[in-house]
C-alpha cells in the first residue's frame, strides 16, 4: 500500500514536470536524435529560451492590462462625466424659478471646478450653468446608468440638498422635494431622512438665532471671518477665494475614507462655511 502511494506520487511529480517543461524535453530529445550530445545541449538551450519568452510575454500582457485599467479608472472623473450631477445640483439651486444668484453659481462652481483640466473644461462647465432647463429626469437616468456605489449616490443627494437649502423654502417643501429626489435615486429612507433632518435643524437654528444676530451682528461677523480664516479687512474676492479653498476640503472626493459620522460633520462644516461667506459678502456689498 505504501509503495503504491509512493509510485503514484512519483508519477504525478514527473507528469507535472512533463506538462511544465514539455517544450524543453521535446527539443532536447529532438536535438539528441539529430546531433547527439551536442544537439541535445542545443535543443535544451532553445527550449529554455522558448519557455522563458512565453513567461515574459504573460507578465507584459498582465502589466499592460493593469495599466490600461488604471488609466481607465483615472480618466473616468472628467467634467463631461460629471455633467449629469452638475445639471442636477444646478436644478435644485434654482428650484422652480428661484433666482440664479452669484452665490448659487459660486457654490456649484466650487464643487466641480477642480475637475476642470483645461480652458475648454471651464467653458463647458460655465455653459452648463447657463442652461435654463437641466432636464432633471434625463440627468437622474444618466446617474443611475453610471452605476455608482451607494455612498457616492448619497453624496450627490447631499449636494442637491445643500443647493436647495440656498433657496427660501419651508421645511415642508424641502421634505417633499428631497424625498422625491431620494426615491428616484433609490436611496434608503433612514439615510436620506437623516440628511433632510440635518438641514431642517440648521434652518431652525438660523431662525432661533436671527434675533440674537440682529442685536449682535458685529459678533456674528467676526465669527464668520474666523470661520473662513480671513482678516476682517479682506476684500470680497479674498473672502470668496478662502471659501472655495475650505469648501473643497469638505468635498466627499477629498475624504473617501470618512465614516458616516465624519461625513455628517463635513456636511455641517459646508453649511457653516456657506453661511459665513454669505454674511461677509452681504456686509461688504452694503458697507
pLDDT per residue as tens digits for the range 19-74: 455 566 665 666 566 766 665 556 556 655 555 544 443 333 333 223 333 333 34
pLDDT of amino acid 214: 47
pTM exceeds cut of 0.75: no
What are the residue ranges spanned by the domains of the chain? 2-74, 76-168+178-186
pLDDT band at 249 (very low <50, low <70, confident <90, very high): confident
pLDDT of amino acid 217: 66
**DSSP H helices in the chain:** 2-20, 22-74, 83-93, 102-112, 119-130, 136-145, 150-165, 171-184, 189-215, 217-228, 236-249, 260-286
* Mean pLDDT along residues 95-111: 87
Q: Say if residue 253's pLDDT is above 80.
A: no
pLDDT band at 180 (very low <50, low <70, confident <90, very high): very high
* Mean pLDDT along residues 70-85: 70
Q: Say if residue 111's pLDDT is above 80.
A: yes
Percent of the chain whose pLDDT exceeds 70: 66
Q: Pseudo-torsion of CA 190, 174, 284, 234, nearest 10°?
A: 20
pLDDT of amino acid 232: 86
Q: Nearest to residue 136, comparing CAs of 88, 86, 181, 104?
A: 88
Q: Say if residue 15's pLDDT is above 70.
A: no
Inter-residue contact 88 to 134 (CB < 8 Å): yes
Host H or E run for residue 113: none
| Cα 221 → chain centroid | 34
The pLDDT tens digits of the residues spanning 126-165 come to 999 988 889 899 999 999 999 999 999 999 999 999 999 8
- Which range is least confidently modeled, 93-102, 111-120, 154-163, 247-256? 247-256
* Mean pLDDT along residues 5-10: 50
Inter-residue contact 196 to 180 (CB < 8 Å): no
Inter-residue contact 285 to 258 (CB < 8 Å): no
Reading the block at residue 156, the C-alpha cell is 450627490
Average pLDDT, the chain: 76
Is the C-alpha dihedral spanning 256, 259, 206, 232 positive or negative? negative
Is the C-alpha dihedral spanning 281, 284, 285, 286 positive or negative? positive
- Which range is least confidently modeled, 161-165, 219-223, 238-242? 219-223
pLDDT of amino acid 46: 63
Neighbouring C-beta atoms of residue 45, cutoff 10 Å: 14
pLDDT of amino acid 54: 45
DSSP structure string for 32-63: HHHHHHHHHHHHHHHHHHHHHHHHHHHHHHHH
- Which range is least confidently modeled, 38-47, 92-101, 184-193, 269-278? 38-47
Q: Nearest to residue 89, comparing CAs of 151, 144, 164, 145?
A: 164
pLDDT of amino acid 223: 85
Amino acid at each position: 500500500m505504501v509503495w503504491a502511494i509512493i509510485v503514484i506520487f512519483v508519477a504525478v511529480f514527473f507528469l507535472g514536470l512533463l506538462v511544465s517543461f514539455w517544450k524543453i524535453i521535446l527539443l532536447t530529445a529532438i536535438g539528441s536524435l539529430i546531433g547527439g550530445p551536442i544537439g541535445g545541449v542545443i535543443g535544451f538551450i532553445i527550449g529554455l529560451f522558448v519557455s522563458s519568452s512565453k513567461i515574459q510575454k504573460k507578465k507584459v500582457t498582465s502589466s499592460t492590462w493593469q495599466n490600461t485599467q488604471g488609466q481607465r479608472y483615472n480618466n473616468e472623473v472628467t467634467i463631461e462625466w460629471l455633467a449629469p450631477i452638475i445639471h442636477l445640483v444646478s436644478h435644485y439651486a434654482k428650484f422652480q424659478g428661484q433666482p440664479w444668484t452669484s452665490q448659487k453659481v459660486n457654490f456649484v462652481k466650487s464643487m466641480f471646478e477642480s475637475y476642470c483640466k483645461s480652458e475648454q473644461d471651464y467653458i463647458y462647465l460655465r455653459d452648463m450653468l447657463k442652461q435654463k432647463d437641466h432636464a432633471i429626469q434625463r440627468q437622474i437616468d444618466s446617474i443611475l446608468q453610471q452605476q455608482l456605489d451607494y455612498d457616492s449616490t448619497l453624496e450627490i443627494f447631499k449636494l442637491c440638498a445643500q443647493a436647495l437649502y440656498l433657496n427660501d423654502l419651508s421645511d415642508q417643501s424641502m421634505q417633499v422635494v428631497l424625498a422625491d429626489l431620494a426615491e428616484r435615486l433609490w436611496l434608503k429612507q433612514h439615510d436620506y431622512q437623516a440628511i433632510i433632518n440635518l438641514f431642517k435643524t440648521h434652518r431652525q437654528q438660523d431662525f432661533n438665532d436671527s434675533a440674537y444676530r440682529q442685536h449682535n451682528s458685529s459678533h456674528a461677523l467676526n465669527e464668520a471671518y474666523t470661520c473662513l480664516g480671513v482678516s476682517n479687512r479682506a476684500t470680497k474676492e479674498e473672502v470668496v477665494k478662502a471659501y472655495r479653498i475650505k469648501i473643497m476640503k469638505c468635498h466627499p472626493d477629498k475624504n473617501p475614507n470618512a465614516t458616516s459620522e465624519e461625513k455628517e460633520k463635513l456636511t455641517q462644516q459646508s453649511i457653516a462655511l456657506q453661511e459665513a461667506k454669505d454674511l461677509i459678502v452681504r456686509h461688504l456689498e452694503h458697507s
